[in-house]
A = this chain, B = another copy of it.
Amino acid sequence: MIAAPDLNEIDMSAPTIDVLGIGNAIVDILVQTTDSFLDENGLTKGTMALVSTEQQTALYEKTGQAIESSGGSAANTLAGVAALGGRAAFAGKIKNDQLGKVFSHDIKAAGVTFTTAKAEDGAPTATCLVLISPDGQRTMQTYLGACVEFSIADLDEAMIRNAKVVYLEGYLWDPDPARDAFFEAVRIAHDAGRKVALSLSDPFCVDRHRDGFLSFIEQHVDILFANEDEILALFELEDFDAAAARIKGIVEIAALTRSEKGSVVVTKDETIAVPASPVDKLIDTTGAGDAYAAGFLAAYAHGRDLRTAAVLGGHLAAVIIQQIGARPSANVQHLLLGLDG
Protein backbone atom coordinates (compact mmCIF):
# COMPACT_ATOMS: atom_id res chain seq x y z
CA MET A 1 0.00 0.00 0.00
CA ILE A 2 1.14 3.47 -0.87
CA ALA A 3 0.60 6.08 1.81
CA ALA A 4 -1.90 8.79 0.99
CA PRO A 5 -0.49 12.30 1.00
CA ASP A 6 -0.69 13.57 4.56
CA LEU A 7 -3.52 16.08 4.31
CA ASN A 8 -2.99 16.86 7.98
CA GLU A 9 0.05 18.78 6.87
CA ILE A 10 -2.28 21.05 4.93
CA ASP A 11 -4.28 23.65 6.81
CA MET A 12 -7.75 22.33 6.02
CA SER A 13 -9.62 25.30 7.49
CA ALA A 14 -12.17 25.98 4.76
CA PRO A 15 -10.13 25.14 1.67
CA THR A 16 -12.85 25.96 -0.85
CA ILE A 17 -10.62 25.33 -3.86
CA ASP A 18 -8.74 22.14 -4.67
CA VAL A 19 -6.28 23.66 -7.13
CA LEU A 20 -5.59 27.27 -8.10
CA GLY A 21 -3.51 27.59 -11.25
CA ILE A 22 -1.51 30.64 -12.19
CA GLY A 23 -0.28 30.83 -15.74
CA ASN A 24 -0.30 32.50 -19.13
CA ALA A 25 -3.81 32.93 -20.56
CA ILE A 26 -3.47 31.93 -24.20
CA VAL A 27 -5.69 31.11 -27.15
CA ASP A 28 -4.20 28.39 -29.34
CA ILE A 29 -4.30 28.58 -33.13
CA LEU A 30 -4.11 24.95 -34.19
CA VAL A 31 -2.97 24.05 -37.67
CA GLN A 32 -1.96 20.81 -39.31
CA THR A 33 1.53 20.93 -40.75
CA THR A 34 4.25 18.79 -42.32
CA ASP A 35 7.81 18.07 -41.25
CA SER A 36 9.06 19.84 -44.36
CA PHE A 37 7.16 23.01 -43.41
CA LEU A 38 8.95 22.98 -40.06
CA ASP A 39 12.30 22.49 -41.80
CA GLU A 40 11.68 25.24 -44.36
CA ASN A 41 10.86 27.68 -41.58
CA GLY A 42 13.76 26.72 -39.33
CA LEU A 43 11.51 25.35 -36.57
CA THR A 44 12.58 22.61 -34.16
CA LYS A 45 9.82 20.03 -33.80
CA GLY A 46 8.36 19.68 -30.33
CA THR A 47 9.56 23.01 -28.97
CA MET A 48 7.87 26.20 -27.78
CA ALA A 49 9.46 29.50 -28.76
CA LEU A 50 8.51 32.97 -27.59
CA VAL A 51 8.07 35.25 -30.59
CA SER A 52 6.93 38.76 -31.41
CA THR A 53 3.51 39.35 -32.90
CA GLU A 54 5.24 40.15 -36.22
CA GLN A 55 7.12 36.83 -36.20
CA GLN A 56 3.98 34.92 -35.30
CA THR A 57 1.95 36.67 -38.00
CA ALA A 58 4.61 36.03 -40.65
CA LEU A 59 4.51 32.31 -39.89
CA TYR A 60 0.70 32.23 -39.56
CA GLU A 61 0.36 33.69 -43.05
CA LYS A 62 2.18 30.67 -44.45
CA THR A 63 0.04 28.07 -42.68
CA GLY A 64 -3.14 26.37 -43.78
CA GLN A 65 -6.62 26.72 -42.33
CA ALA A 66 -6.61 26.80 -38.56
CA ILE A 67 -9.00 26.39 -35.69
CA GLU A 68 -8.86 28.42 -32.51
CA SER A 69 -9.13 26.80 -29.09
CA SER A 70 -8.42 28.13 -25.63
CA GLY A 71 -5.09 26.97 -24.27
CA GLY A 72 -2.36 27.91 -21.84
CA SER A 73 -0.55 25.19 -19.93
CA ALA A 74 -1.86 25.80 -16.41
CA ALA A 75 -5.26 26.85 -17.78
CA ASN A 76 -5.52 23.50 -19.55
CA THR A 77 -4.58 21.74 -16.33
CA LEU A 78 -7.24 23.56 -14.34
CA ALA A 79 -9.85 22.82 -17.00
CA GLY A 80 -8.85 19.18 -16.57
CA VAL A 81 -9.13 19.36 -12.78
CA ALA A 82 -12.64 20.80 -13.15
CA ALA A 83 -13.60 18.18 -15.75
CA LEU A 84 -12.65 15.53 -13.19
CA GLY A 85 -14.95 17.13 -10.63
CA GLY A 86 -12.29 19.07 -8.74
CA ARG A 87 -12.81 22.62 -7.48
CA ALA A 88 -10.62 24.64 -9.80
CA ALA A 89 -9.60 28.28 -10.15
CA PHE A 90 -7.27 30.03 -12.56
CA ALA A 91 -5.49 33.39 -12.62
CA GLY A 92 -4.01 34.81 -15.81
CA LYS A 93 -4.10 37.97 -17.92
CA ILE A 94 -6.23 38.54 -20.98
CA LYS A 95 -7.18 41.71 -22.79
CA ASN A 96 -10.85 42.62 -23.18
CA ASP A 97 -10.79 41.71 -26.88
CA GLN A 98 -12.39 38.98 -29.00
CA LEU A 99 -9.86 36.29 -28.17
CA GLY A 100 -9.90 37.35 -24.52
CA LYS A 101 -13.64 36.71 -24.52
CA VAL A 102 -13.00 33.32 -26.09
CA PHE A 103 -10.50 32.45 -23.36
CA SER A 104 -12.73 33.72 -20.57
CA HIS A 105 -15.78 31.90 -21.90
CA ASP A 106 -14.00 28.61 -22.28
CA ILE A 107 -12.26 28.51 -18.91
CA LYS A 108 -15.52 29.38 -17.16
CA ALA A 109 -17.46 26.92 -19.32
CA ALA A 110 -15.00 24.27 -18.18
CA GLY A 111 -16.13 24.96 -14.63
CA VAL A 112 -13.07 26.93 -13.53
CA THR A 113 -13.38 30.08 -11.41
CA PHE A 114 -11.66 32.88 -13.33
CA THR A 115 -11.76 36.43 -11.97
CA THR A 116 -8.48 38.08 -13.04
CA ALA A 117 -9.18 41.64 -14.21
CA LYS A 118 -8.97 42.03 -18.00
CA ALA A 119 -6.60 44.60 -19.50
CA GLU A 120 -8.59 47.31 -21.29
CA ASP A 121 -5.69 48.52 -23.40
CA GLY A 122 -2.17 47.45 -24.31
CA ALA A 123 -1.20 44.24 -26.04
CA PRO A 124 -3.90 41.81 -27.24
CA THR A 125 -4.74 38.48 -25.63
CA ALA A 126 -1.87 36.04 -26.08
CA THR A 127 -1.89 33.53 -28.93
CA CYS A 128 0.09 30.37 -29.50
CA LEU A 129 0.47 29.12 -33.05
CA VAL A 130 0.46 25.34 -32.64
CA LEU A 131 1.79 23.41 -35.63
CA ILE A 132 0.66 19.80 -35.41
CA SER A 133 2.83 17.29 -37.28
CA PRO A 134 1.50 14.09 -38.86
CA ASP A 135 2.99 12.16 -35.91
CA GLY A 136 0.90 14.22 -33.46
CA GLN A 137 3.79 16.29 -32.10
CA ARG A 138 3.31 20.01 -31.75
CA THR A 139 5.67 22.90 -32.38
CA MET A 140 4.61 26.15 -30.78
CA GLN A 141 5.25 29.84 -31.42
CA THR A 142 3.86 31.93 -28.58
CA TYR A 143 3.21 35.66 -28.59
CA LEU A 144 2.68 36.52 -24.91
CA GLY A 145 0.64 39.70 -25.55
CA ALA A 146 -1.37 40.72 -22.49
CA CYS A 147 0.27 38.00 -20.36
CA VAL A 148 3.27 40.23 -19.77
CA GLU A 149 1.00 42.53 -17.74
CA PHE A 150 0.17 39.88 -15.12
CA SER A 151 1.59 41.13 -11.82
CA ILE A 152 1.29 40.95 -8.04
CA ALA A 153 -1.74 43.24 -8.28
CA ASP A 154 -3.57 40.41 -10.05
CA LEU A 155 -3.18 37.97 -7.17
CA ASP A 156 -6.28 37.27 -5.10
CA GLU A 157 -4.83 36.59 -1.65
CA ALA A 158 -8.01 35.09 -0.23
CA MET A 159 -8.24 32.72 -3.16
CA ILE A 160 -4.65 31.58 -2.74
CA ARG A 161 -5.23 31.00 0.98
CA ASN A 162 -8.31 28.94 0.14
CA ALA A 163 -6.63 26.59 -2.31
CA LYS A 164 -5.19 23.26 -1.20
CA VAL A 165 -2.61 23.50 -3.98
CA VAL A 166 -1.30 26.50 -5.89
CA TYR A 167 -0.10 25.28 -9.27
CA LEU A 168 2.38 27.42 -11.19
CA GLU A 169 3.47 26.94 -14.77
CA GLY A 170 7.16 27.41 -15.51
CA TYR A 171 6.30 29.57 -18.52
CA LEU A 172 5.19 32.25 -16.07
CA TRP A 173 8.89 32.78 -15.37
CA ASP A 174 9.29 34.43 -18.78
CA PRO A 175 7.47 37.75 -18.19
CA ASP A 176 9.16 39.64 -15.33
CA PRO A 177 6.08 41.00 -13.51
CA ALA A 178 4.55 37.53 -13.60
CA ARG A 179 7.68 36.08 -12.01
CA ASP A 180 7.33 38.55 -9.16
CA ALA A 181 3.72 37.44 -8.76
CA PHE A 182 4.94 33.84 -8.79
CA PHE A 183 7.05 34.45 -5.66
CA GLU A 184 4.35 36.42 -3.90
CA ALA A 185 1.78 33.68 -4.57
CA VAL A 186 4.15 31.13 -3.06
CA ARG A 187 4.67 33.30 0.03
CA ILE A 188 0.91 33.60 0.57
CA ALA A 189 0.27 29.91 -0.05
CA HIS A 190 2.92 28.69 2.33
CA ASP A 191 1.89 31.25 4.93
CA ALA A 192 -1.57 29.65 4.79
CA GLY A 193 -0.09 26.15 5.05
CA ARG A 194 -0.91 25.24 1.44
CA LYS A 195 1.10 23.25 -1.07
CA VAL A 196 2.95 24.76 -4.01
CA ALA A 197 3.23 22.81 -7.26
CA LEU A 198 5.34 23.76 -10.27
CA SER A 199 5.39 22.47 -13.83
CA LEU A 200 8.68 22.95 -15.67
CA SER A 201 6.69 23.54 -18.89
CA ASP A 202 9.37 22.66 -21.47
CA PRO A 203 13.12 21.97 -21.69
CA PHE A 204 13.81 25.28 -23.41
CA CYS A 205 11.99 27.12 -20.63
CA VAL A 206 14.26 25.22 -18.22
CA ASP A 207 17.32 26.23 -20.25
CA ARG A 208 16.25 29.87 -20.15
CA HIS A 209 15.83 29.85 -16.37
CA ARG A 210 17.85 26.91 -14.99
CA ASP A 211 19.55 28.61 -12.06
CA GLY A 212 16.43 30.48 -11.02
CA PHE A 213 14.34 27.35 -11.29
CA LEU A 214 16.77 25.24 -9.27
CA SER A 215 16.94 27.75 -6.47
CA PHE A 216 13.16 28.25 -6.52
CA ILE A 217 12.48 24.50 -6.50
CA GLU A 218 14.84 23.86 -3.61
CA GLN A 219 13.34 26.64 -1.50
CA HIS A 220 9.67 26.72 -2.42
CA VAL A 221 8.27 23.79 -4.39
CA ASP A 222 6.38 20.93 -2.73
CA ILE A 223 5.22 19.10 -5.86
CA LEU A 224 7.21 19.21 -9.10
CA PHE A 225 5.87 18.14 -12.50
CA ALA A 226 8.40 17.53 -15.27
CA ASN A 227 8.71 15.33 -18.30
CA GLU A 228 11.89 13.42 -19.03
CA ASP A 229 13.44 16.13 -21.22
CA GLU A 230 12.69 18.78 -18.63
CA ILE A 231 14.14 17.00 -15.62
CA LEU A 232 17.25 16.12 -17.65
CA ALA A 233 17.57 19.76 -18.71
CA LEU A 234 17.16 20.92 -15.12
CA PHE A 235 20.13 18.90 -13.91
CA GLU A 236 22.00 18.90 -17.25
CA LEU A 237 22.04 15.12 -17.17
CA GLU A 238 21.46 12.51 -19.84
CA ASP A 239 20.23 9.63 -17.72
CA PHE A 240 16.68 9.60 -16.40
CA ASP A 241 17.42 7.48 -13.33
CA ALA A 242 20.24 9.82 -12.36
CA ALA A 243 17.92 12.80 -12.69
CA ALA A 244 15.21 11.03 -10.66
CA ALA A 245 17.79 10.32 -7.97
CA ARG A 246 18.85 13.98 -7.93
CA ILE A 247 15.32 15.32 -7.40
CA LYS A 248 14.66 12.84 -4.56
CA GLY A 249 14.32 14.75 -1.32
CA ILE A 250 14.64 18.18 -2.96
CA VAL A 251 10.85 18.31 -3.29
CA GLU A 252 8.23 16.41 -1.33
CA ILE A 253 6.82 14.86 -4.51
CA ALA A 254 8.25 14.81 -8.03
CA ALA A 255 5.90 13.47 -10.73
CA LEU A 256 8.01 12.71 -13.79
CA THR A 257 6.33 11.80 -17.08
CA ARG A 258 7.97 9.68 -19.76
CA SER A 259 5.45 9.57 -22.64
CA GLU A 260 4.85 5.93 -23.64
CA LYS A 261 6.93 4.75 -20.67
CA GLY A 262 4.37 6.11 -18.23
CA SER A 263 5.37 8.12 -15.20
CA VAL A 264 7.53 7.87 -12.12
CA VAL A 265 6.61 9.48 -8.80
CA VAL A 266 9.57 10.16 -6.52
CA THR A 267 9.38 11.04 -2.84
CA LYS A 268 12.00 10.98 -0.11
CA ASP A 269 10.93 7.45 0.82
CA GLU A 270 9.82 5.78 -2.36
CA THR A 271 9.83 5.64 -6.15
CA ILE A 272 6.59 4.58 -7.83
CA ALA A 273 6.58 3.67 -11.54
CA VAL A 274 3.21 3.63 -13.31
CA PRO A 275 2.84 2.39 -16.92
CA ALA A 276 1.26 4.60 -19.58
CA SER A 277 -2.47 4.24 -20.15
CA PRO A 278 -3.39 2.52 -23.43
CA VAL A 279 -3.83 4.70 -26.52
CA ASP A 280 -5.63 3.55 -29.68
CA LYS A 281 -4.65 6.38 -32.00
CA LEU A 282 -2.43 9.33 -31.17
CA ILE A 283 -3.96 12.45 -32.73
CA ASP A 284 -2.31 15.48 -31.09
CA THR A 285 0.02 15.51 -28.11
CA THR A 286 -0.93 19.11 -27.23
CA GLY A 287 -1.69 19.23 -23.53
CA ALA A 288 -0.54 15.75 -22.56
CA GLY A 289 1.62 17.04 -19.71
CA ASP A 290 -1.06 19.51 -18.65
CA ALA A 291 -3.60 16.70 -18.52
CA TYR A 292 -1.28 14.48 -16.48
CA ALA A 293 -0.89 17.26 -13.91
CA ALA A 294 -4.68 17.70 -13.86
CA GLY A 295 -5.37 14.07 -13.15
CA PHE A 296 -2.59 13.86 -10.59
CA LEU A 297 -3.67 16.98 -8.71
CA ALA A 298 -7.38 16.15 -8.83
CA ALA A 299 -6.67 12.80 -7.17
CA TYR A 300 -4.12 14.29 -4.75
CA ALA A 301 -6.52 17.01 -3.64
CA HIS A 302 -9.15 14.33 -3.09
CA GLY A 303 -6.77 12.56 -0.69
CA ARG A 304 -5.94 9.66 -3.00
CA ASP A 305 -2.55 7.95 -2.75
CA LEU A 306 0.30 8.85 -5.09
CA ARG A 307 0.02 5.76 -7.29
CA THR A 308 -3.66 6.48 -7.87
CA ALA A 309 -2.79 10.09 -8.65
CA ALA A 310 -0.22 8.97 -11.23
CA VAL A 311 -2.69 6.51 -12.76
CA LEU A 312 -5.36 9.20 -13.09
CA GLY A 313 -2.79 11.57 -14.61
CA GLY A 314 -1.93 8.93 -17.18
CA HIS A 315 -5.59 8.25 -17.92
CA LEU A 316 -6.39 11.89 -18.61
CA ALA A 317 -3.25 12.33 -20.71
CA ALA A 318 -4.34 9.34 -22.81
CA VAL A 319 -7.74 10.95 -23.36
CA ILE A 320 -6.20 14.27 -24.42
CA ILE A 321 -3.73 12.90 -26.96
CA GLN A 322 -6.50 11.03 -28.76
CA GLN A 323 -8.33 14.26 -29.61
CA ILE A 324 -7.51 17.63 -31.18
CA GLY A 325 -7.02 20.28 -28.52
CA ALA A 326 -5.65 20.36 -25.00
CA ARG A 327 -8.79 20.23 -22.87
CA PRO A 328 -11.12 17.25 -22.45
CA SER A 329 -14.01 17.48 -24.92
CA ALA A 330 -15.70 14.41 -23.48
CA ASN A 331 -17.04 13.87 -19.99
CA VAL A 332 -14.18 12.44 -17.97
CA GLN A 333 -15.59 12.50 -14.42
CA HIS A 334 -15.94 8.73 -14.60
CA LEU A 335 -12.14 8.51 -14.64
CA LEU A 336 -11.90 9.88 -11.12
CA LEU A 337 -15.05 8.20 -9.84
CA GLY A 338 -13.97 4.85 -11.28
CA LEU A 339 -10.61 4.67 -9.56
CA ASP A 340 -9.94 2.31 -6.69
CA GLY A 341 -8.82 4.86 -4.19
Contacts and interface: CB of A to CB of B under 8 A. Distances in A.
* A63, A79, A109, A325 interface centre (most CB from chain B within 10 Å): A109
Contact of A64 (B99, B109, B124): B109
A61 interface: yes
A65 B106 contact: yes
A329 B105 CA distance: 26
A117 interface: no
A124 B98 contact: yes
Contacts of A66: 102, 105-106, 109
* A67, A110, A327, A329 interface centre (most CB from chain B within 10 Å): A67
A68 interface: yes
Contacts of A64: 109-110
Contacts of A329: 32, 65
B98 A65 contact: no
Task: Report the interface size class on chain A.
Answer: 20 to 34
A174 interface: no
A97 interface: yes
A295 to B, nearest CB: 18
A332 B222 CA distance: 51
A332 to B, nearest CB: 13
Interface in A52-80: 60-61, 63-70, 79
Nearest to A68: B68
Given A98-B99, A98-B124, A99-B98, A67 B69 contact: yes
Contacts of A32: 329
A70 B65 contact: yes
A65 B110 contact: yes
A97 B125 CA distance: 12
A69 B324 CA distance: 13
Interface in A91-128: 97-99, 102, 105-106, 109-110, 124-125
Contact of A68 (B69, B110, B124, B327): B69
Nearest to A328: B65
Contacts of A65: 70, 79, 106, 109-110, 327, 329
A109 B37 CA distance: 14
A49 B84 CA distance: 35
Contacts of A109: 63-66
A63 B102 CA distance: 12
A327 B31 CA distance: 13
Interface string A184-208: 0000000000000000000000000
Contacts of A69: 67-68
Interface of A: 32, 60-61, 63-70, 79, 97-99, 102, 105-106, 109-110, 124-125, 325, 327, 329
Given A63-B109, A98-B98, A98-B124, 18 more contacts: A61-B105, A64-B109, A64-B110, A65-B79, A65-B106, A65-B110, A65-B329, A66-B102, A66-B105, A66-B106, A66-B109, A67-B67, A67-B69, A67-B325, A68-B68, A68-B69, A97-B98, A98-B125
Q: Return the 5 tightest CB-CB contacts between A and B, nearest first.
A: A68-B68, A98-B98, A65-B106, A67-B69, A64-B109
